[in-house]
Amino acid sequence: MTESLRNRLALAPAASATARAKLEPERAGPAEREGSNENVLLAAIPRKQYRGLFARLEPVALTFGEVLFQPGDAIRHVYFPETSLVSLLTLVDHHLALEVGMVGREGMVGLPLALGVAASPFRALVQGAGAAMRMKSAHFLAEMRQSPQLQAAVCLHTYNLMAQVAQTAACNRFHVVQERLARWLLMTGDRVRSNDFRLTQEFLSHMLGVRRVGVTMAAGELQKRKLIQYSRGSIRIIDRHGLEAASCSCYEVVSSRRC
Amino acid sequence: MTESLRNRLALAPAASATARAKLEPERAGPAEREGSNENVLLAAIPRKQYRGLFARLEPVALTFGEVLFQPGDAIRHVYFPETSLVSLLTLVDHHLALEVGMVGREGMVGLPLALGVAASPFRALVQGAGAAMRMKSAHFLAEMRQSPQLQAAVCLHTYNLMAQVAQTAACNRFHVVQERLARWLLMTGDRVRSNDFRLTQEFLSHMLGVRRVGVTMAAGELQKRKLIQYSRGSIRIIDRHGLEAASCSCYEVVSSRRC
DNA sequence: CGTAGTTTGTGCGTTGGCGTACATACGGCG
DNA sequence: CGCCGTATGTACGCCAACGCACAAACTACG
């Protein structure tokens, strides 16, 4: 049964329609497109160039559970999350998925294109609904050629992502579920800049690559320690400092690299 | 005891002097620098440019156990392995190391420099003694600016490395030691283009992030199944096909990406 | 308001790997 | 040749997580 559930999620990872509809719909509006919610990579582009660029950027509202790429898919658009959050998953044995990185407003989805490869090795799954900008692949490549600032920002993001993926690898190897869960919640909280989000334990189990029951017990323990609070698909961080203490050192390692 | 051993290796991962000396010394000579042993990235540079480049390339013999970078170290040189093999390790909790990628003649060590960051997040540990070319960081950056071909090759390698790290992450999460050991041996064999190499189980345990005893048992099983043969620091693959069957699917996933 | 579907909780037995300790075997060096 | 350091093998208790099964609670919708 667990197996079949995993299978379902791996092949059609969208949540149920009802679950989708209620996930932070108010964040998806294009109203907040400006200001500090702007994507960091786009912000790196000088304002003069940006004016021309703007015509090629298309605001999109990403919905929870949406899959932007599957491994091997041709990359037609690149995405620049603003208030949204995208998970990068590695698939293995055709039915298991593991999150290896997350991309928010500090990065982009479709990075391989910048490296000259038109296919992603990951599944890109929208994990936090919200706003993003997107651009056709050809346009993005043209912009890259024109803007050294964009190139530099993309390179830095590539470096950070690589470091994040590697740290996640080690973390998954050495740390127990509870620590990893705490880290995941903190990192997600950082990126969506909010302390509560809507996620089921089932979903979390696929991110962390463990059984759903494992999440239940880890989350139960964290709740008992008054660090988080949750019920039926919503989780709230109520003691950020405590949660940092409960998480493994990987959290500060990754988040301190933020530059 | 295990702890203290790990500690020792983490802080001073060089093997004993005797172990070092005997590890494939004949491969380190600069004699084979030419031809199909050449590094793939360097090979991407057109021969005209290469002539000028050559003056800035310095042949070096990498010895087993040598550490090229520690995490956070400034990158002074970049390395282009030819017959040598370098492991990239993520350190965690100050005493545990885990291999997240390996770089042979298909890549370079010091990649972050190409991304505009002068520090590596990894430890780079020479895992297969042999020849390499190296270049001062400043020279490498200059070459990058001059040669679009080199840029493209480096980008492709970045992509491949990212995919490899991610696959390793998932592999470490889902597969048992025996499968991972088989995969590791195959990947190493591919890169040094040989079926036997000199490595202790202790060393392997740090690559795979498991106890030495775990390696003993996994290797014992593989030997019982006539796939490998080993004794006192040397391992030989005697049935490549069988070993592929015994390894997890990650091997073919990663090695098929080779392009 | 009740029912169906989703989400969370609990309870097994099993297992792969951990930490530790100690025993054996090999091989280079005096 | 014999010794000592290094490498490998074996053993034991332990635990986190596994796979599976089913119970309980909540919510949305008819």
Q: Which residue of B has its CA nearest to A211?
A: B174
The verdict on a CB contact (< 8 Å) between A96 and B162 is: no
Question: What average pLDDT does the segment A217-222 reach?
Answer: 96
The more confident residue out of A219 and B257 is: A219
The gap between the terminal CA atoms of chain A, to the nearest Å, is 44
Which of residues 41-70 of A have CB within 7 Å of strand C?
A: none
The model's pTM is: 0.86
Q: Which of A112, A209, A250 sits opposite B173 (nearest CB)?
A: A209
From the CB of residue A47, how many other CB atoms can be counted at a distance below 10 Å? Answer: 8
Cross-chain residue pair B90–A209, CB shorter than 8 Å = no
Q: Which helix (H) or strand (E) holds A173?
A: helix A148-174
H-assigned helices in B175-239: 177-192, 201-208, 212-224
A129-141 confidence digits (pLDDT tens): 999 999 999 999 9
With CB atoms and an 8 Å threshold, state whether A163 touches B121: yes
Q: Whole-angstrom distance between the N-terminal and C-terminal Cα of chain B?
A: 43
CB of A212 nearer than 7 A to strand C: yes
At residue B254, the pLDDT reads 83
Helix pair angle (A177-192, A201-208), 10° resolution: 110
Residue A15 Cβ under 7 A from any strand C atom: yes
- Count the neighbouring beta carbons within 10 Å of the beta carbon of residue B2: 11
Least confident residue range of A105-114, A203-212, B7-16, B228-237: B7-16
What CA–CA distance (Å, rounded) separates B194 from B209?
Answer: 24
The nucleotides of chain D lying under 7 Å from a protein CB are 5-11, 16-21, 26-29
Kindly state the percentage of chain B with pLDDT values over 70. Answer: 85
Residue B35 has pLDDT above 70, yes or no: no
CB-based contact B158 A115, cutoff 8 Å: yes
Mean pLDDT of B135-154: 94
Nucleotides of C under 7 A from a protein CB: 5-11, 16-21, 26-29
A169 and B172 in contact by Cβ < 8 A? yes
Residue range A9-27: mean pLDDT, rounded: 37
How many Å apart are A233 CA and C7 C1'? 7
User: How far is it, in rounded angstroms, from Cα A129 to Cα A203?
Assistant: 14
Alpha carbon B220 to its chain's center: 24
Token readout for A237 is 């961080």
* Higher-pLDDT residue of B55, A100: A100
**Do B236 and B185 touch, CB atoms closer than 8 A?**
no
Q: What is the mean pLDDT of residues B216-240?
A: 94
- Note the pLDDT tens digit of each residue in A25-38: 333 333 333 447 78
Beta carbon of B211 within 7 Å of strand C?
A: yes
Check: CB of residue A167 under 8 Å from CB of residue A250: yes
Question: Tokens 């696929």 map to which residue?
Answer: A206
Closest nt to residue B208, judged CA to C1': C17
For residue range A65-101, list pLDDT tens digits in order: 999 999 999 999 999 999 999 999 999 988 889 999 9
Residues in B whose CB is inside 8 Å of some CB of A read 88, 90-93, 96, 98, 100-101, 112, 114-117, 121-122, 152, 155-156, 158-159, 161-163, 165-174, 209, 248-250, 253, 257
User: In this predicted structure, what is the pLDDT of residue B124?
Assistant: 97
- Rounded CA separation B198/A245 (Å): 42
Give dist(CA B164, CA B180) in Å, integer.
14
pLDDT band at A52 (very low <50, low <70, confident <90, very high): confident
pLDDT of residue A23: 34
